[in-house]
């Protein structure tokens, strides 16, 4: 295990800035040099959140650059490709072929999938913390209609279950790609023999899921990225509590931002209420929220970090918050991890301390849970989550994720959201 000498707050802050500076290409920040050389959607929202207290212009630039990739359907793509490195990541623009789709932007190549709608939540933080109120108000006015279009897209094109929640149509859309929550829906896909020769497939997912990921993306692309195809045929459709919890929190954020943009907050509060009711009705069981597999017609049993997403709802009833917190603090998650919060419940057979979303702790999900704890007045929980996250980056640097037992780093180095959210935690 690698461990660094103790580092004080000022030095940690300087290191975080130098990672973010090195990862900037123009107005956009890439998640990690080499590994992810483009702009990723939820990564950029975490970068904007980290920049929010210190540099409104850069935070706004990050969001604007990402939203330059928004489709006319309102869909915000999960990757906006950097023109200089188009094929440096697989699957690149030649796979997605966004340029051939009438709804995609003409000059900005993008993927055809989306990611958790953190954007309004990020803009709300930028607005709250901005020193220059006029500059921040101008930014809100510019971004507000784009975010309304994003939310309308989710409500209109992604309510595949008809119950008021948005469905993800690919594991990449969850941001938690190889989470064990998607194992069963992926296993149920028809026999897949795909297209791309093995040497074209980076060995990022040694379990063979990469074949299924690419197959699913190509099925959707070949439908013409059609909403009707998603409703009627697409074989992967899951209501994820993290995605929907974030969406709900972003609806609340849009309600806060609406008056700044001269708009009525009412519709956003109504949307939040609809999502809240649907989450409780469709995903709540056994004291937590579980993802619902719409094609398999059942709740997915494994409990992951995603099960706590609806805690981001400021109006989640107190008894539900209490039940969620007791699972979170138990030996299933924080209680048995030296470096919380593991991305999968420790006692699950699928738990793997070293593989991405199958066990390691992540700075962004820790930050989201800390945010939720603050919202619900759980002061001690918020303190613990903040301290544990800073301990991880102090010990192992701004890694992509961390072993939940010994805190050693995993995945990419100099990872942007780990650096950016550290800035927020230090503020």
Indicate which residues carry an active-site annotation. Answer: 177, 400
Residue of 96, 124, 172, 289 that binds ligand 9WN (CB under 6 A): 172
CB atoms within 10 A of CB 231: 15
Residue of 40, 46, 71, 220 that binds ligand 9WN (CB under 6 A): 40
Q: Using the rule CB under 6 A, is 175 a contact of ligand 9WN?
A: yes
Residue 254 parent element (H or E): helix 241-257
CB atoms within 10 A of CB 388: 21
Q: Which span sits near ligand 9WN by CB under 6 A: 13-21, 34-42, 237-245, 258-266?
A: 34-42
Whether the CB-CB separation of 421 and 393 falls below 8 Å is answered with no
Q: Which span sits near ligand 9WN by CB under 6 A: 21-29, 38-46, 94-102, 154-162?
A: 38-46
Q: Which span sits near ligand 9WN by CB under 6 A: 36-44, 162-170, 276-284, 287-295?
A: 36-44
Question: x-or-dash pattern for ligand 9WN, window 197-216, by CB under 6 A?
Answer: -------x------------
CB of 116 to ligand 9WN, least distance (A): 9
Pairwise CA distance, residues 297 & 238, whole Å: 10
Q: State which residue, 172 or 367, has the beta carbon closest to ligand 9WN.
A: 172
Q: Which span sits near ligand 9WN by CB under 6 A: 161-169, 170-178, 191-199, 381-389?
A: 170-178
Q: Using the rule CB under 6 A, is 43 a contact of ligand 9WN?
A: yes
Q: Is 97 helix (H, G, I), strand (E, B) or coil?
A: coil
- Cβ neighbours for 334, distance < 8 A, ≥ 6 positions apart: 328, 340, 341, 384
CB of 36 to ligand 9WN, least distance (A): 4
Q: State which residue, 152 or 177, has the beta carbon closest to ligand 9WN.
A: 177
Pairwise CA distance, residues 398 & 13, whole Å: 11
Helix then strand count (H, E) for the chain reads 16, 11
The residue sitting closest to ligand 9WN, measured at its beta carbon, is 31
Q: State which residue, 200 or 270, has the beta carbon closest to ligand 9WN.
A: 200
Residue of 15, 28, 29, 31 that binds ligand 9WN (CB under 6 A): 31
Whether the CB-CB separation of 283 and 241 falls below 8 Å is answered with yes
Task: Give the distance, in angstroms, between the CA of residue 23 and the centroid of all CA atoms in the same chain.
Answer: 19
Q: Using the rule CB under 6 A, is 352 a contact of ligand 9WN?
A: no
Whether the CB-CB separation of 346 and 307 falls below 8 Å is answered with no
Q: Using the rule CB under 6 A, is 36 a contact of ligand 9WN?
A: yes
- Cβ neighbours for 130, distance < 8 A, ≥ 6 positions apart: 52, 56, 136, 139
Whether the CB-CB separation of 369 and 308 falls below 8 Å is answered with yes
Q: Using the rule CB under 6 A, is 177 a contact of ligand 9WN?
A: yes
Residue in the block written with tokens 């975010």 = 147
- Cβ neighbours for 147, distance < 8 A, ≥ 6 positions apart: 119, 120, 123, 250, 254, 257
Q: State which residue, 66 or 257, has the beta carbon closest to ligand 9WN.
A: 66
Q: State which residue, 175 or 386, has the beta carbon closest to ligand 9WN.
A: 175
CB of 179 to ligand 9WN, least distance (A): 9
List beta partners, residue 299. Answer: 292
Q: State which residue, 155 or 392, has the beta carbon closest to ligand 9WN.
A: 392
State how far the alpha carbon of 379 is from the alpha carbons of 18, 308, 371, in Å: 31, 17, 10
* Footprint on this chain of ligand 9WN (rule: CB under 6 A): 31, 36, 40, 42-43, 78, 172, 175, 177, 204
């Amino acid at each position: 295990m690698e461990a660094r000498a103790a580092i004080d707050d000022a030095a940690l802050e300087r290191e975080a800035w130098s990672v973010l500076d090195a990862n900037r290409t123009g107005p956009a920040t890439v998640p990690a040099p080499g590994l992810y050389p483009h702009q990723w959607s939820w990564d950029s929202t975490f970068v904007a959140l980290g920049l929010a207290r210190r540099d409104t212009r850069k935070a706004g630039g990050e969001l604007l650059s990402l939203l330059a990739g928004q489709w006319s359907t309102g869909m915000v793509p999960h990757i906006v490709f950097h023109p200089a490195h188009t094929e440096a990541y697989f699957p690149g623009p030649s796979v997605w072929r966004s340029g051939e789709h009438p709804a995609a932007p003409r000059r900005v190549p993008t993927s055809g999938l989306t990611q958790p709608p953190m954007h309004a939540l990020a803009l709300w933080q930028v607005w709250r913390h901005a020193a220059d109120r006029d500059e921040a108000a101008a930014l809100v006015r510019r971004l507000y209609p784009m975010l309304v279009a994003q939310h309308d897209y989710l409500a209109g094109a992604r309510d595949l279950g008809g119950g008021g929640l948005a469905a993800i149509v690919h594991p990449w859309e969850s941001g938690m790609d190889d989470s064990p929550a998607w194992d069963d829906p992926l296993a149920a896909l028809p026999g897949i023999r795909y297209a791309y020769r093995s040497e074209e497939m980076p060995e990022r997912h040694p379990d063979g899921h990469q074949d299924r990921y690419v197959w699913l993306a190509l099925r959707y692309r070949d439908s013409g990225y059609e909403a009707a195809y998603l409703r009627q045929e697409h074989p992967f459709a899951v209501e994820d509590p993290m995605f929907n919890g974030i969406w709900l929190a972003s609806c609340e954020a849009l309600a806060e931002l609406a008056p700044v943009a001269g708009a009525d907050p009412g519709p956003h509060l109504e949307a939040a209420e609809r999502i809240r009711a649907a989450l409780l009705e469709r995903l709540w069981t056994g004291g937590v929220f579980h993802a619902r597999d719409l094609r398999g017609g059942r709740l997915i049993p494994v409990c992951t970090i995603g099960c706590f997403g609806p805690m981001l709802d400021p109006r989640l009833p107190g008894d539900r918050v209490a039940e969620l917190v007791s699972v979170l603090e138990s030996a299933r998650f924080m209680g048995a991890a030296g470096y919380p919060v593991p991305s999968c419940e420790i006692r699950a057979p699928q738990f793997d301390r070293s593989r991405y979303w199958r066990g390691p702790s992540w700075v962004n999900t820790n930050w989201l849970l800390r945010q939720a704890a603050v919202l619900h007045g759980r002061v001690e929980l918020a303190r613990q989550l903040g301290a544990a996250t800073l301990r991880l980056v102090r010990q192992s640097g701004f890694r992509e994720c961390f072993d939940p037992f010994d805190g050693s780093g995993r995945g990419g180095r100099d990872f942007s959201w780990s650096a950016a959210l550290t800035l927020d935690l230090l503020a």
